[in-house]
Amino acid sequence: MDPILTEFSLLGVTRPIGGYGLAVTLGILVSSAVAARAAHRAQEDVGATIATIGYATMAGFAGAFLLHAIVEWARTGDPLAILEQGGLVFYGAVPTAVAAVVIAGRAFGMPWLKIIDLSVPGIAMGHALGRIGCFLGGCCFGAEWDGPWAAIAIHPLAASAHPSVPRHPVQLYESMGLLVLAAIFTFVKPDRVGDGGRALSYVALYAVLRFSMEQLRADTVRGMFFGLSTSMIISLALFASAIVWGLRIRRARAAA
């Protein structure tokens, strides 16, 4: 794996193309396309869905960058540390993107919960592509392990190459898990589980997946609190929230 996939030249100036950036871009495109197609099939307003996706993408990037900045600030004590070590945290994107969908959905007069439900397989696919980008970039790396499919990063730009030892390809594990989730939710239609049921199921299952993957990760530089990483704590909170919210929806449906 190589963080720099290739290079391009423009008017004599050569710049690199990173694997992480390409994977994230592909992930956004795939998830947006899947969501727009699902909205078209559900006979929702495709234009308004695309506009909502645009707002959600902007808010998601802002939230992911903000959480990364907060974590880096807490870790280094320097608010400008984010400038020297860029990055994104997926969990930061979740609340801001959901908030953007809620606000935009209400502004466009769309059922925002249904839009989120329709977007779930695309979100999982895009996230899986993003994790492949993590593998290419050498971030979010796994613990040291000398197994048959261990990965060794040797490029100096890859964080997992310091030290360059065989590690669990935990990014690929999570990518595969997300693809499985995408396949599951492609066949689970939203109308079978009610509005919000598919999104809440995805949140709960992803929290379980992420919590288990965190056991194999070794980038403890993100910060540990009470023996748990930041993402483990967020996973626990998300899982509990999804279960509670799901039970409330179920009771409301039963009462109706």
Partner 1 sequence: MVHSPGLVGIGSITLGALSFCCMVAGIFLVWVPFLGAMVGFLAPVLALFGIVLGGIALSRARDGGHENESLAIGGLITSIVAFVPSILVAVTCSMCSACWTGVILTPHDAGPRAVFPDAGASTWVPPSMPPPSVLPGPPAWPPITPPPIAPDPAAATTEPTTEPTDGTEATGTAPTTGTTLAPGSSGPALPPPPLPPGPNVRSH
Residues near partner 1, by CB under 8 A: 10, 13, 15-18, 20-22, 24-25, 28-29, 45-55, 57-58, 61, 80, 83-84, 86, 108
Rounded CA gap, 222 and 100, in Å?
A: 26
Rounded CA gap, 117 and 189, in Å?
A: 9
Report in angstroms how near the CB of residue 53 gets to partner 1 at its nearest.
8
Rounded CA gap, 104 and 100, in Å?
A: 6
Q: Which CB, 16 or 156, lies closer to partner 1?
A: 16
Q: Which CB, 61 or 245, lies closer to partner 1?
A: 61
Report in angstroms how near the CB of residue 81 gets to partner 1 at its nearest.
8
Q: What is the 3-state secondary structure (H, E, C) of 88-100?
A: CCHHHHHHHHHHH
Q: Which CB, 16 or 147, lies closer to partner 1?
A: 16
Neighbours of 172 (CB within 10 A): 17
Q: Which CB, 20 or 202, lies closer to partner 1?
A: 20
Amino acid type, 243 = I
Report in angstroms how near the CB of residue 85 gets to partner 1 at its nearest.
8
Neighbours of 192 (CB within 10 A): 9
Report in angstroms how near the CB of residue 231 gets to partner 1 at its nearest.
21
**Residue whose pair of structure tokens reads 């997992």 in the numeric block:** 160
